[in-house]
């Protein structure tokens, strides 16, 4: 009698209880997280929106039917309503709004990515350092954080942009500078809950330096909640960038930034509604996508919610 | 012969704002090399604090702690950690939830600059009775007893002379408890380790320790040998009450 040989599938390999290598253990862990995430339909919608945004930004040149900067004939093609030729109509410079939205996704994505890359590490570093050392280090770092938290975010960003000069790069820097304090607070709170736990005491007893403990043991446990928070804040970041664009301190014309597009369209809001509405819809959809994604990530990544 | 561990007049205080807790008051004890020494007492008697003071986890302490005849500096150096290691009470709290067993065991080796990490990690796992299949697991894939074995492997991987055991089996159920105690016993004989073991369970201490110190309110009440404990030859009323309580419990 022959027994059909059991061929382990890739799924079995990932979900095995006895991984044979570091890589397999890590991939298996990631796969389990993905399985949990996939079970949440709203989170998948959010992920779909974000992936779509990234694809649109990457392939903007292929997708956009018209030039986003240079418009058509100013006598005949200004403020056309949505039609087959212009899916979302045209604006007051006779530019195709759909093409501008597609190219504007690059700016939006750039703002979001750069702010996340700048603000998150600062927040995590300040928060974990303050939380781990405590004492005067904690006091100094947290008072600095409080100073930043005391200002409304848009006002502080306004002040920074006013000082640095208008432009999308300065807007990004201003938003990043104003958005790290909540992450620092969050990371500090997480650090306080784990710094006295036995596994931190154990690694201290192995002679690990403070830097090693913070980086290798505290930060991995803080990042998931910070990532969730950052994802939720993405919507706010997009809105702040749009707000700065709206009052003319963010992206400068003729850049197709969504907030600036709304600002340009508000003069025609009654008669040519599409000029301001289309970028508004884009902001709305992307913000919603990030919120769904954050919600799903929180369910999956939060170590406390985990079984 | 000088004792390996010599603690004289140890005082540990915890201050939180205005209130102060005097956890250990003038405790002295000596432990010879290769000996297994028990610290017994009820909750809050300061027995775990003694261990934490030895390995530098207690914030402030007074008195003298000599290891191998040399006084401990206020900040423990790498040399100390290679001599003295600790096993914690709760195996669910003492392993990092996001680190594999492999990482838990290789990190101390990396810190102390050992070269043959691969073989050491595999040997450490084998010694505590876990096979290679456990090497890349996360703590949530392990049972309580397996976790405690990993914690013991972690404590032994730097090849210390002294192991501080903070109620290493109280979080485990009875059958696993015996396995882990036998493992600890075997490792001590094989490696000539010195144990200081904290427990509230007199049966465990009678099984594991050559001598023990009964503690109450942060002070040493009475020192007993294993034979005296088995013969129930205690002189102080507190120890007698403790023995009585443990007998009533086992008989029930």
Question: What integer pLDDT is reported at residue A188 of this predicted model?
Answer: 95
pLDDT 10s digits, A2-47? 566 666 688 888 887 778 888 888 888 888 888 888 988 999 999 9
Question: What integer pLDDT is reported at residue A15 of this predicted model?
Answer: 82
Average pLDDT, chain B: 88
Does position B205 have pLDDT exceeding 50, yes or no? yes
Question: What integer pLDDT is reported at residue A232 of this predicted model?
Answer: 86
Mean pLDDT across B37-66: 87
Q: Where are the alpha helices (DSSP H) in chain A?
A: 10-15, 22-38, 41-58, 60-63, 97-133, 135-150, 153-164, 168-194, 198-205, 210-213, 219-246, 258-265, 274-301
Residue of B nearest to A19 (CA): B136
pLDDT 10s digits, B31-47? 999 999 999 988 888 88
Residue of B nearest to A219 (CA): B98
Average pLDDT, chain A: 88
Mean pLDDT across A188-193: 93
Cis omega (within 30 of 0) on the bond before A259? no
Mean pLDDT across B83-98: 91
Residues 108-167 of A with CB under 8 A from B: none
Check CB contact of B156 with chain A, cutoff 8 Å.
Answer: no
Whether ipTM tops 0.95, in short, is no
Residue of B nearest to A23 (CA): B136
Does position B250 have pLDDT exceeding 70, yes or no? no
User: A201–B85: do the CB atoms touch at under 8 Å?
Assistant: no
Per CATH, is A97-307 categorized as 3.30.1340.10?
no
Q: How far is CA A254 from CA A42, A174, B227, in A?
A: 36, 21, 92
- How confident is residue A304, by pLDDT bands cut at 50, 70 and 90? low
The closest CB to that of B94, out of A19, A202, A204, belongs to A202
Least confident of A11-25, A214-228, B94-108, B215-229: A11-25
With beta carbons under 8 A apart, name residues in chain B contacting A18: 133-134, 136-137
Residues 233-292 of A with CB under 8 A from B: none
Helix pair A168-194, A219-246: axis angle to 10 deg: 150
Domains of chain B, earliest start first: 5-251 (3.40.50.300)
Does position B249 have pLDDT exceeding 80, yes or no? no
B205-243 CB burial, b ≥16 within 10 A, e <16: bbbbbebbbbbbebebbbebebebbeeeebeeebbeebb
Chain A interface test: which of B98, B134, B154 (most A C-beta within 10 Å): B98
Check CB contact of A31 with chain B, cutoff 8 Å.
Answer: no
Q: Which residues share a beta bridge with B222?
A: B214
Q: What pTM was computed for the model?
A: 0.84
Alpha-carbon span B230 to B217, nearest angstrom: 24
The closest CB to that of A19, out of B56, B111, B137, belongs to B137
């Amino acid at each position: 009698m022959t027994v059909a040989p059991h061929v382990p599938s890739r799924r079995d390999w990932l979900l095995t209880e006895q991984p044979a290598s570091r890589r397999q253990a890590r991939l298996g862990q990631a796969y389990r997280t993905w399985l949990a995430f996939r079970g949440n339909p709203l989170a998948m919608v959010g992920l779909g929106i974000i992936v779509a945004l990234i694809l649109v930004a990457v392939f903007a040149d292929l997708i956009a039917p018209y030039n986003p900067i240079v418009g058509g004939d100013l006598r005949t093609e200004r403020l056309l309503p949505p039609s087959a030729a212009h899916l979302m109509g045209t604006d007051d410079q006779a530019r195709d709004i759909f093409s501008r939205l597609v190219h504007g996704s690059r700016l939006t994505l750039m703002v979001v990515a750069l702010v996340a890359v700048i603000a998150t590490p600062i927040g995590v570093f300040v928060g974990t350092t303050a939380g781990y050392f405590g004492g005067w280090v904690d006091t100094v770092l947290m008072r600095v954080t409080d100073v930043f938290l005391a200002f409304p975010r848009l006002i502080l960003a306004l002040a920074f942009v006013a000082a640095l000069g208008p432009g999308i790069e300065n807007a990004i820097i201003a938003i990043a500078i104003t958005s790290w304090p909540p992450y620092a607070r969050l990371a500090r709170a997480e650090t306080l809950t784990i710094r006295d736990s036995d596994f931190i005491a154990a690694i201290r007893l192995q002679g690990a330096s403070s830097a090693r403990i913070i980086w290798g043991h505290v930060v991995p446990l803080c990042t998931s909640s910070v990532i969730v928070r950052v994802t939720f804040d993405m919507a706010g970041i997009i809105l702040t960038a749009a707000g700065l664009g709206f009052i003319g301190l963010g992206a400068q014309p003729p850049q197709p930034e969504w907030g600036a597009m709304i600002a340009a369209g508000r003069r025609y809001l009654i008669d040519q509604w599409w000029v301001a509405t289309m970028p508004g819809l884009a902001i709305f959809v992307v913000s919603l996508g990030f919120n769904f994604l954050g919600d799903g990530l929180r369910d999956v990544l939060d170590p406390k919610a985990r079984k | 012969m000088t004792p390996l561990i010599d603690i004289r007049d140890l005082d540990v205080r915890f201050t939180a704002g205005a209130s102060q807790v005097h956890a250990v008051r003038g405790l002295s004890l000596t432990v010879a090399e290769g000996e297994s020494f028990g610290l017994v007492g009820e909750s809050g008697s300061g027995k775990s604090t003694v261990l934490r003071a030895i390995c530098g986890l207690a914030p402030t302490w007074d008195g003298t702690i000599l290891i191998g005849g040399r006084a401990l500096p206020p900040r423990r150096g790498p040399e100390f950690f290679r001599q003295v290691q600790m096993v914690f009470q709760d195996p669910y709290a003492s392993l990092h939830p996001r680190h594999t067993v492999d990482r838990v065991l290789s990190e101390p080796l990396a810190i102390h600059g050992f070269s043959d990490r691969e073989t050491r990690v595999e040997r450490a796992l084998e010694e505590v009775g876990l096979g290679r299949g456990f090497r890349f697991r996360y703590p949530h894939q392990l049972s309580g007893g397996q976790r405690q074995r990993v914690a013991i492997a972690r404590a032994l991987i730097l090849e210390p002379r002294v192991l501080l055991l903070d109620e290493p089996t109280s979080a485990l159920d009875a059958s696993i408890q015996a396995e882990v105690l036998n493992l600890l016993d075997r490792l001590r004989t094989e490696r000539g380790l010195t144990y200081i073991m904290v427990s509230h369970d007199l049966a465990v201490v009678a099984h594991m320790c050559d001598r023990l110190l009964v503690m109450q309110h942060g002070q040493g009440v009475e020192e007993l040998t294993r034979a005296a404990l088995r013969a129930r030859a205690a002189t102080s009323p507190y120890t007698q009450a403790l023995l009585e309580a443990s007998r009533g419990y086992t008989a029930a």
